[in-house]
């Protein structure tokens, strides 16, 4: 079923943050920072993959994501929904089901045997493809997926995620320069506000996280592993 009437953007952001906190997908640790895939430290970590194990929350967020896409991009804007390997695959399938559209997925690299394909499923020249992922930090990982989609002759000018860090100013420029528009449900700022309201973490941890969010590159430089 295609959702059509849902809360305004600010309320969707608040409720998304609340759900992520409720299932403990949000982790704050200012004393022993997490090491991200980039090798840089962070006092914050989010695990959107946990959402697939919570049917009520999963369903609500996929409704939110679908209606956000349709409100922001258009109701007839896409012909195919593509998930990025691996975290984006289940969310792409759920969005495709709601939008009554074909679904495909994009490998991070060719599989190395058989057709040596990066695109799995059907994707045709001229199709308008939406890339769905769980989250984005600085937007860099999306470019390779989009390039693989475009190599088929399809177009891809939009990506939709549940969670967008929202703290690196270069992100939307990186995507925009590549002809990609970002759609998201919530950011770290929404999570921080809800974490404060719900007293999910102690005051010292909240203060440390807020310091990071206000100047993430400075914080990472000062807290690099020895």
In the chain, the domains with their CATH numbers are 9-18+59-196 (3.40.50.2020)
- When the pLDDT of each residue in the chain is averaged and rounded to a whole number, the result is 94
Q: How would DSSP label each residue in the chain?
A: --------HHHHHHHHHHHHHHTT-EEE-SSSPEEPTTS-EESEEE-GGGGGG-HHHHHHHHHHHHHHHHHHH-TT--SEEEEETTTHHHHHHHHHHHHT--EEEE-SS--SSTT--SEES---TT-EEEEEEEEESSSHHHHHHHHHHHTTT-EEEEEEEEEE----TTHHHHHHHTT-EEEEEE-HHHHHHHHHHTT-S-HHHHHHHHHHHHSHHHHHHHT---
Query: What is the pTM for the complete model shown?
Result: 0.94
List pLDDT tens digits, range 166-197. 999 899 899 999 999 999 999 999 999 999 99
pLDDT grade for 103, boundaries at 50, 70 and 90: very high
């Amino acid at each position: 079923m295609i959702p059509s009437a849902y809360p305004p953007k600010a309320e969707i952001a608040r409720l998304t943050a609340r759900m992520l906190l409720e299932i403990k997908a949000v982790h704050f640790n200012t004393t022993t920072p997490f090491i991200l895939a980039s090798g840089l430290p962070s006092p914050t970590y989010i695990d959107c993959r946990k959402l697939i194990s919570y049917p009520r929350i999963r369903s609500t967020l996929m409704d939110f994501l679908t209606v956000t896409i349709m409100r922001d991009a258009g109701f007839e804007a896409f012909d195919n929904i593509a998930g990025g390997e691996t975290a984006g695959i289940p969310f792409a399938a759920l969005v495709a089901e709601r939008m009554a559209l074909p679904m495909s997925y994009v490998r991070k690299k060719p599989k190395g045997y058989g057709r040596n394909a990066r695109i799995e499923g059907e994707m045709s020249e001229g199709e308008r493809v939406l890339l769905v992922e769980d989250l984005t930090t600085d937007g860099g990982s999306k470019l390779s997926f989009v390039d693989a989609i475009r190599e088929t002759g399809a177009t891809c000018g939009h990506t939709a995620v549940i969670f967008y860090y929202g703290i690196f100013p270069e992100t939307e420029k990186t995507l925009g320069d590549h002809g990609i528009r970002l759609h998201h449900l919530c950011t770290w700022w929404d999570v921080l506000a809800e974490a404060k309201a719900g007293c999910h973490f102690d005051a010292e941890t909240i203060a440390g996280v807020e310091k990071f969010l206000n100047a993430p590159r400075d914080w990472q430089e000062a807290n690099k592993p020895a």
